[in-house]
Amino acid sequence: MSSSTSENGSFASLSSCMSASRILLLKGKQKKDDVLKALVRRIAAEEKFGSEADLEWGIMHREELMSTGIGKNIAVPHASIGNCEEACVALAVCPDGVPDYQGLDSQMVKLVFMIVTPPESAGIRLKILAAIGGLFSDGRLKAACLASADPEKCLTIIQRAE
């Protein structure tokens, strides 16, 4: 059983797909490619979500098709990776923003949720996207994450909001 799914294989929660080790707190203005590559490296280091080369290709290819900036300062780059064992979410918290990330509403992206799933997990990927949209819709959780001093605290904030 995957840590990101319940016993029947359905999506459990956003935080169940995350870990504090996959939360990056990045100070200063960031560049989109640098943020994406930092998240890819962090995910690849765990060796159960695909190789760094596969992850980078999948994420960058998806970004070339259309920006994953969904608005309200949030981006959700995502990819399905063939040798990925389970759903994974990494988060880059960028309080000073990522000016070159093209969001739907032209607002600067400040939270980048990278979602990696096995190819057969399209339903789980959609549930993760919905969870992010629902949890971060009113802005209070986003503000709390942006003010977070460390990855453990950020993850706890998300867990409490669920």
Task: Tell me the C-alpha distance between 161 and 143, whole Å.
Answer: 12
DSSP string computed for 26-50 = --S---HHHHHHHHHHHHHTTSSS-
Question: What does pTM read for this prediction?
Answer: 0.91
Listed by start position, the domains of the chain span 15-161
Percent of the chain with pLDDT over 90: 75
Phi, psi of 27 (to 5 degrees): -90, 150
Q: Which pair of tokens denotes residue 133?
A: 């949209």
Hunting for tokens 């490619």 — which residue is that?
Answer: 33
Q: H or E stretch including 122? A: helix 122-135
Q: Which CATH class is domain 15-161?
A: alpha beta
Q: Tell me: the pLDDT tens digits for 91-129?
A: 999 999 999 997 888 889 999 999 999 988 888 999 999
Average pLDDT over every residue of 69-96: 93
The partner residues of 117 in beta bridges, in order of sequence, read: 80
Q: Tell me: the pLDDT tens digits for 126-140?
A: 999 999 999 998 889
